[in-house]
Amino acid sequence: MRKTVKFGGSSLADSAQFKKCAAIIRADEARKYVVPSAPGKRFKDDVKVTDMLIRCYDIQKKDLDAGLEYFSKIEDRFDEIVTGLGLDYSLEPEYRIIRSYMEEGLSKDYLVSRGEFLSGKILSVLLGYPFVDPADYIIFNSNGVFEEQKTAAAFRKIADMESFVMPGFYGATETGRVKTFSRGGSDITGSVVANGMHVDVYENWTDVSGFLMVDPRLVENPQPIKEITYSELRELSYMGAQVFHEEAIFPARAAGIPINIRNTNKPEDEGSWVRTDDQISDSHLFITGVTGKKGFMSLSFEKDVGGDRLPFGRKVLQMFEEAKVMVDHVPSSIGTMTVVVDVDEISGKEESILRRIRREIDPYSITVERNLALVAVVGLEMRGVVGITSDMLRVLAEGGINVRMAIQGIKEISLIIGIDEQDFERAIRLLYEFAKAKNKELRP
């Protein structure tokens, strides 16, 4: 058994947290490939090292001396960790290199990635595992897009390594330019390492004991999810569940590697397991989760298209694509094409898209509806259960909530319901109560 273990920022916030991680790694010899984040918050109003580095970049761009002075605060955070761990080790040579690059002019991604780099250096000394720089193995193209095939080929060069520490969050282009993933991207590195090293399990250590059936800010003490499939998680994280980076699902999933979300502060908890649809056990919940998000709007275009519906739909979507606006849903009927988008996504572009559509497609009518919220009920096993959709809609109707839109994909893994924003919290609570009761009934 071989595992990749990724530790998030809160798991590495200070020397006491580093000690916990080292104890976890030493407790199981399968924990071979370690992926650290940069130190996160030690207390509520603390600043993450990654945020300090972003700040440092902005300062040094305007005023080098002020930037170098601010960088010494970041050095202090790392030095405190090294001292607290009692290591006979100094990061001074690394700081010197970073400082000299700052003097020469460096890229934002390079400086921002140094949090993970320095974290990894410490952890490698603490564990006695070799340090492997992801800049040599996690490959991006010149546009900053992750290169799956080239990365897989690069990992073949280290296939024989027994163990290592590889910092999360970044890689580099083939010409050596450091590139970071999006925020929270060390989860992606963990998944890429799991895939590249063909491990049996990807453990993702964070500060919660896995996923909950519903947002604990909306419902008191929600039930934990012991097991979820990749496809269910995809539906849930898309709607705003925050524990695990959305894009981190793909590399592990492609290799069929289960992910175990664990709590560094409660290592005895089993956490949540993410598995492929055909790996699920009897304990799998019928309804896995209820989630949702406010801040959507819909734009409907009506046109008398006769038999020629195909180009109409394509042209409407093309206008959104060309404006680089991601479309979330397209719940349409014959002659009316509706596009649901996140308000933040379309912000500043709405007028120009509508203008183009009027000019180039000339719909018969355009209707824009705002203040829309989407709620999703997710469960792989809902498929084929007669009446489950109408039961959920009835729960909302009995609660006096108007359903403005309902989308169920043919795979029946989720039901997505569009409601007024003002009904959001109540809809989530009602559907959670329904899900809990259904799970009890079907999984006593």
Residues binding ligand ASP (CB under 6 A): 8-9, 37-38, 48, 50, 115, 168-169, 183-187
Cβ closer to ligand ASP: 47 or 403? 47
**Chain position whose Cβ is nearest to ligand ASP:** 186
Cβ closer to ligand ASP: 183 or 358? 183
Distance linking the first and last C-alpha atoms of the chain = 33
Nearest Cα neighbor of 15 from 88, 77, 92, 94 is 77
CB of 332 to ligand ASP, least distance (A): 37
C-alpha distances (whole Å) from 216 to each of 211, 219, 224, 320, 440 are 10, 5, 10, 35, 20
CB of 300 to ligand ASP, least distance (A): 37
Q: What b/e sequence results for 315-341 when a residue is b if at least 16 CB atoms lie within 10 Å of its CB, and e otherwise?
A: bbeebbeeeebebbbebbeeebbbbbb
Cβ closer to ligand ASP: 185 or 222? 185
CB of 241 to ligand ASP, least distance (A): 16
Strand order in the sheet with 289-302: 336-342, 289-302, 365-378, 414-420, 405-408
Rounded Cα distance between 259 and 152, Å, is 19
CB of 361 to ligand ASP, least distance (A): 40
Cβ closer to ligand ASP: 184 or 222? 184
Cβ closer to ligand ASP: 131 or 286? 131
Cβ closer to ligand ASP: 178 or 373? 178
Question: Which residues, other chains included, contact 292 with Cβ-Cβ below 8 Å and sequence gap of 6+?
Answer: 239, 240, 373, 374, 375, 376, 424, 427, 428
A 10 A CB-CB count for 16 gives 11
Cβ closer to ligand ASP: 20 or 309? 20
CB of 7 to ligand ASP, least distance (A): 9
Cβ closer to ligand ASP: 38 or 249? 38
Cβ closer to ligand ASP: 54 or 385? 54
Longest CA span, the chain? 78
CB of 192 to ligand ASP, least distance (A): 13
CB of 12 to ligand ASP, least distance (A): 9
Amino acid, res. 188: I
Rounded Cα distance between 276 and 136, Å, is 30
Backbone dihedral region of 384: left (phi > 0), alpha (psi from -120 to 50 degrees) or beta? left
Cβ closer to ligand ASP: 195 or 338? 195
CB of 57 to ligand ASP, least distance (A): 14
